[in-house]
Structure 1
Amino acid sequence: MTIVVPSRFGADRDWGAKAARGLRLTAGPGAEPSGDELTALRAGLNRRDEVAAALVRAMPVRDLHRALAAGPGADAPEPVRAFFAAVSERPAWVDDDLLARGAQACREFGMDAGLVLAYGSLLGGYRTAAALEPLVRTGRLTGGETLRRIQETSLWWRAVTAPGGLAPGGAGVRQTLHVRVMHALVNARLEADPSWDWQLRGVPINQYDQASTLGVFSTSFLLHLRLLGVRVSRADGRAVMHLWSYVGWLMGVDEEWLPHTERRGRRLLYHFLSHDPPPDGNSVALARALLAMTDDWAQGRRRIWEREKALSVSAWLLGRGALRDLGLPYRPPWYGLARVAANLVMSHGAGRLPGGRERLLARSERQATAQFDRWGIELP
């Protein structure tokens, strides 16, 4: 059987090369994909997470939620036991010390981590139309649902980076597996939708897009933190990449596309972005919804401040061209520069002193508590 490569792959190579130029420079020599790697990229658009897909096919949704909550007990249905058996055999490369260090480093980054994830990684991901159609069809990242989805993602991120969150049975593991199965449910629904354009998009939630999204939380995350002046040591960078590689494995990303190191992650992310399609109407709608998110919790002058801050830090992290692609107004990068100045003092200065990391972590927890309070959510 001939497998058709979705036409979104490499749809506009000139745009892809321009959008991925910065990643190309950071990836270093040998960044271009080999012939075998190009074949894998094309094939990835037509591959799903088969482990989770098998579970979804085997059980009605009403039973699935209850079975997942109960866990892999002896009286669980066979499809549930098979799923948990597949995800409980941790790969030999998983190192608990590295997981712990990576989690603590993520927490220490504090408010800068939140800025980067929202206005660097997530907003930057909207610049390409690659993986956006499923998001729009579920309605979870437009209109009033935007803030709710960001809050849910923030709670999941805190569970993953909590002490012991990725230990067997930890809250981060449980929530990640829940997200994985929810992705499989959405995938099954969209695959059954006769309006889904297979020739253009391939499998709705596919391995290519899942691996690219993993790069947003790992590779892109660290690059943007450094742009804000945050000190990320080589050891911390290695630990953060290790943590997100394990999260990717739990999420069902193929082993061949787990980043493991920053250099490998940059190379992989360059391959994805340089072959992604340019932005479309979904890109603009999602970007505007993200910028309007603060309207749901901020009022008056605070609302104006939060919007201008978001536009300014986006301009610093993504550049004028990205904002133009997303249909967003450009602002001078005053807030990004202010974060650089603050981090020269706190991250590079106070953070290196005896007890500095503990103080950074305590400060970050205060910032997280304040943000969740503004959202009206109790911090777990």
Structure 2
Amino acid sequence: MAPDYPERHGIDLPVARRIASPLLWLIRDKRRAEPDAAEWTRMGLALLKGDPLADRIVDYFSQVGHREGWGEMEIAAQGRWHELAPDSAVRTLFSHCTHAPGWVDEDAMARGAKVVARSGKTGMRILRDFGLMAGYQASAINQTLVKTGALEKGAQRRVAETTKWWMDCTAEGGLTPGAAGFNTTLRVRVIHAMVRERLRQREDWDAHYLGLPVNQLDMQVTWLAFSVMFLLGQRVLGVPVTQSEAADVMALWRYIGWLMGVDESLLCASEQEGRVALYRNLLSQAQADGTSVQLARALMDEPLQRYYGDFQWLRSHWDKQVHLSIIRLFIGSEGMRVLGLPGWAVPWYPMVFTPCNFLAQSVIRLFPGGRDWLARRGRRAQEEMLTILFGSARPDIIQLAEH
């Protein structure tokens, strides 16, 4: 009897295997990368699993009212979760997340945050062009974005909000209970649960094919974009990352993934484990469709909606071409075609920028305090980009009144 998991699981396996195959060059034990029957079934069943702690809050909000529920979230965010009623689902979530797992290494996470800062604008470009744009080829995940109004909301707003959350999480002390990264991650986790429940009840949600909205396997591949793909992209674009630095970044994102509600069994302790997990996850994903083209073309034009101020037209169109060049490097001509992106784009920017970036970073790292200087400089560049993304608007991530 065939396992009862969603039809999308491995539905485009030959195409998915071709897309994922370059990862095999980076995996030491290639035989281990291929999932056996038990692992394949486990992955398929993960498409049906949500986040019990956050899902319980959705039920709780329906009982006490959303205004009261979000009020409790604000109280808990101030570190006063113990003041809430013992049966409060909000109290349960914050109590759980305030007590970190034993594997959390705060020193490693602090070092990992510096590695992220050191990436500067390059790190932001990797997440946008390699993580987000390339990810649009996974059409089943796109259904959640399209059905929750991602196109109407606008790619520029979503990029800005995600960037703000990323920067809050990777700021010094940002994941301490009560800090911005910690609190926002839990708010996003609850929003995901609300989206999961809302879409699950819609008549046009094909659960037989798609599984559960915002399910565990899809959350894992998003987490892998911020960790494993981010590390790979840095090296490709000329930012040196040692094995020990990569381990620190993985430690940081393993904890963020745990806070976000990704099941511990799907989180990876090392970059090698993460590459194996990414390869396997990509085999599961359904490939590009019409939603991929819609989302990709909207993201392609996202730089044109940024707030550059002086020389707005020139800088916005320049950045659009830079991003297209980087995207072409990461997804190739075939990826550009299936996403409906310009076929004439070539990776001119990485060809020029990568050697210069690598040389500059490598030399500066040799000097005493060089790495710290690069981290400070990179963080300033990221903060400047955040201002460009939000303009005069407050750099907020979630407007609770909208949900």
TM-score of the aligned structures, taking structure 2 as reference length: 0.90
Distance 2:201 2:81 in 1: 31
Q: Is the 8 A contact 1:4 1:199 kept in 2?
A: no
| Structure 1 runs (4+) greater than 4 angstroms displaced | 377-380
Note if contact 2:53-2:93 (Cα within 8 Å) is conserved in structure 1: yes
Shift in alpha-carbon separation, 1:291–1:321, aligned structure 2, 3 A: same
- 1:335 matched to 2:358? The reply is no
When structure 1 is superposed on structure 2, of 257-266 and 314-323 the one drifting more is: 314-323
Preserved contact between residue 127 and residue 279 of structure 1 (Cα < 8 Å): yes
**More displaced, 366-375 or 91-100?**
366-375
User: Residue 47 of structure 1 aligns to which amino acid in structure 2?
Assistant: K
Aligned to 1:196: 205
Alignment counterpart, residue 99 of structure 2, candidates 75, 82, 89: 89
Partner residue, 1:302: 315
Aligned runs of 1:249-264 on 2, under 5 Å?
A: 249-264=258-273
Match of 2:71 in 1: 66
Structure 2 distance, partners of 1:303, 1:165, is 31
TM-aligned CA deviation for residue 143 of structure 1: 4.8
| Letter of the structure 1 residue corresponding to residue 177 of structure 2 | P
Show the 5 A alignment for 1:49-198: 49-59=51-61, 60-71=65-76, 72-77=80-85, 78-140=88-150, 142-143=151-152, 145-198=154-207
Superposition pairs of residues 214-253 of structure 1, within 5 angstroms:
214-253=223-262
Within 2, Cα distance between the matches of 1:93 and 1:262? Answer: 16
Report the AA paired with residue 73 of structure 1: W
Post-superposition shift, 1:372?
Answer: 2.8
How big is each residue's C-alpha offset from its partner over 1:91-135, in whole Å with a ceiling of 9 and x where there is no partner? 100000011001111011101101101011111111111311111
Q: Tell me if structure 2 keeps the 8 A contact 1:68–1:80.
A: yes
Instruction: Report % sequence identity.
Output: 35
Which one is further off, 57-66 or 210-219? 57-66
Q: Which moved more, 1:369-378 or 1:167-176?
A: 369-378
Deviation at 1:308, TM superposition (A): 1.0
**Is 2:317 aligned against 1:315?**
no
Q: Which residue of 2 aligns with 1:37?
A: 39
Aligned with 1:289 (options 294, 298, 310):
298
Deviations 1:272-303 (A, max 9, x none): 10121111111111111111111112642223
Partner of 2:6: 6
SS in 1 for 2:145: helix
Conservation of the 8 A alpha-carbon contact between 1:245 and 1:260: yes
Aligned to 2:379: 365
2:5/2:44 contact within 8 Å kept:
yes
Contact 1:23 1:266 in 2 (8 A): yes
C-alpha displacement at 1:162, in angstroms? Answer: 0.6
CA distance in 1, matches of 2:141, 2:245: 29
Task: State the 1:169 CA deviation.
Answer: 2.5
- One-letter amino acid of the structure 2 residue matched with residue 99 of structure 1: M
1-side partners of 2:114 and 2:304: how far apart? 31
For residue 39 of structure 2, what is the amino acid of its counterpart? E
Per-residue deviation, 1:224: 1.0
Q: Could you tell me how far 1:147 is from its partner in structure 2?
A: 1.0
Whether the 8 Å CA contact 1:99–1:166 is kept in 2: the answer is no
In 1, distance between residues paired with 2:110 and 2:292?
35
- With over 3 angstroms needed to count, the CA separation of the structure-2 counterparts of 1:366 and 1:79, relative to structure 1, is closer
User: Matches of 1:190 and 1:267 in 2, distance apart?
Assistant: 30
TM-score, with normalisation over the residues of structure 1?
0.95
| Alignment equivalent of 1:48, drawn from 43, 47, 50 | 50
Deviation at 1:3, TM superposition (A): 6.9
Cα RMSD (Å): 1.8
Q: Is the 8 A contact 1:51 1:83 kept in 2?
A: yes
Question: Relative to 1, partners in 2 of residues 1:316 and 1:332: Cα closer, same or farther, differing over 3 Å?
Answer: same
Do 1:212 and 1:272's aligned partners in 2 also have CA atoms closer than 8 Å?
yes
Instruction: Tell me the CA shift for residue 305 of structure 1.
Output: 1.1
Q: Which moved more, 1:32-41 or 1:242-251?
A: 32-41
User: Would you say the 8 A contact 2:139–2:289 is kept in 1?
Assistant: yes
Q: Can you list the C-alpha shifts for 1:296-333, whole angstroms capped at 9, x where unaligned?
A: 12642223211111110111122222212211113121
Matched, 1:351 2:381: no
Cα displacement (A) at 1:373: 3.2
CA contact (8 A) 1:130 1:209 kept: no
The number of residues matched between the two structures is 379
The answer (yes or no) to whether the contact 2:117–2:376 under 8 Å persists in 1 is no
CA distance in 2, matches of 1:110, 1:342: 15
In 2, the alpha carbon distance for the partners of 1:11 and 1:64 equals 40
Q: Is the 8 A contact 2:81 2:90 kept in 1?
A: no
Alpha-carbon deviations, 1:145-182, whole Å to 9, x = none? 21111111111111111111112322211111111000
